[in-house]
Structure 1
Amino acid sequence: MAFAWIGSSIPRNGDWTEPERGVEIMIETNGVHTAIVMPLVNSQKDWRADFPAADLPAPDRPYTHVSVSWGEREVFLNTPTWADLSLPTAINAATGGDGLLHVAHYVRPASSDTARVLRLRPAEYARLVRIIETQVVPPDRRTVHGGYEDWDVFYDAPGTYHLGNTCNQWTSDTLAGAGVRTGWWTPFAGGVMKWVPRTDRRFSR
């Protein structure tokens, strides 16, 4: 825990400042896991081809945003609640498990303390998009796995999950690759969220 606190407190892109205008995303957390929420469609990227609503049990809602995160396959698929996490699954994830993308679709999501708005410059958002695109297996080569609700789904994804490459590390690595200030080693959600300031700013709909 001490090493995680120290590692998450060392900044990457330490001179980065949030612009007054730009593309609004959100960093969300459930207290354990973090995800990046982006516009489903804007002038720079249309995610509908990568993450089609047709893959969802409820495809016909007027979705406006998409939440993307990466994690360990068995944990994602077999632990709908943390009470379902078994010791063998946890050990397997910590020592090396296959990656999986979790994609949730939202309709006009609201900002909150656990879903914080972060504004990026267009060039930064473009880099963020390119990084996430490297994790997207083409639809004709991937398996679609059912999600927890009727608005989320899982997809096969590259990468190996382990203690040095957790779901929260994926979030901070993705942000850092876009040029955003974040911590060096962020195995826990708090290590990611402490770099995203709490504000009263409403999320543009």
Structure 2
Amino acid sequence: MIETNGIHTAIVMPLVSPQKDWRADFPASDLPAANRPYTHVSVSWGEREVFLDTPTWADLSLPTAINAATGGDGLLHVAHYVRPAPSETARILRLRPAEYARLVRRIESQVVPPGTRTIHAGYEGWDVFYDAPGTYHLGNTCNQWTSDTLAAAGIKTGWWTPFAGGVMKWVPMR
């Protein structure tokens, strides 16, 4: 699935599939609510200060936004879900096995190995942040990351998708 909160997008994948077991990269033990029967993982990328200092969009300050737009460090946001359902904000995207394998490889390239990365507390008991490579700026936004990741898997997306709507328009509602 591709999910959005209207401003930010993320890629939701099975926690375990024939192509990938994400439990080694994103262990539930990193979460405060580690003992839930998680079935899916949501992965997104964004700017460190925005992620860590703005638990709600109302908390986003002008200086933080300006700093992010002009170049900030990357961070992965990983949320764990139990049987997520499709909705207006979480759309199913069906991939062929080869496409999904390319998607997995692209996301793996953004994962700093456990033991060598810093773990940052998430907003809830089921999410967490990890250090990630890359520099956030107006040409490389969180939504552009989602779009570029999908494009690397062979999924048709827009050329420049800095906003959530630019990503979601390529994912059909079912």
TM superposition score normalised by structure 2: 1.00
Count of matched residue positions in the alignment of Structure 1 and Structure 2? 174
2:26 maps to which residue?
A: 51
Structure 1 stretches lacking a partner, 5+ long: 1-25, 200-205
Write the deviation string for residues 94-143 of structure 1: whole angstroms up to 9, x where unpaired.
Answer: 00000000000000001001100000000000000000000000111100
Give the match's secondary structure for 1:68: strand
Amino acid at match of 1:109: P
1:95 maps to which residue?
A: 70
Match of 1:70 among 27, 32, 45: 45
Distance 1:70 1:42 in 2: 22
Ranked by relative contact order (alpha carbons within 8 Å, sequence separation 6 or more), the top structure is 1
Give the match's secondary structure for 2:150: helix
Distance 1:158 1:197 in 2: 30
Amino acid at match of 2:146: T
Distance 2:109 2:82 in 1: 25
1:117-136 to structure 2, matched below 5 A, reads 117-136=92-111
Give the match's secondary structure for 1:128: helix
Matched, 1:81 2:53: no
2:114 maps to which residue?
A: 139
Superposition RMSD on alpha carbons, in Å? 0.3
Deviation at 1:188, TM superposition (A): 0.2
Distance 2:132 2:172 in 1: 30
Runs of 4+ in 1 over 6 A off after TM superposition: none
Amino acid at match of 2:19: Q
2:88 maps to which residue?
A: 113
Amino acid at match of 1:74: E
Distance 2:129 2:166 in 1: 24
Structure 2 stretches lacking a partner, 5+ long: none
Q: Percent same amino acid among aligned pairs?
A: 87
1:152 maps to which residue?
A: 127
Q: Which has the larger radius of gyration?
A: 1
Distance 1:114 1:84 in 2: 22
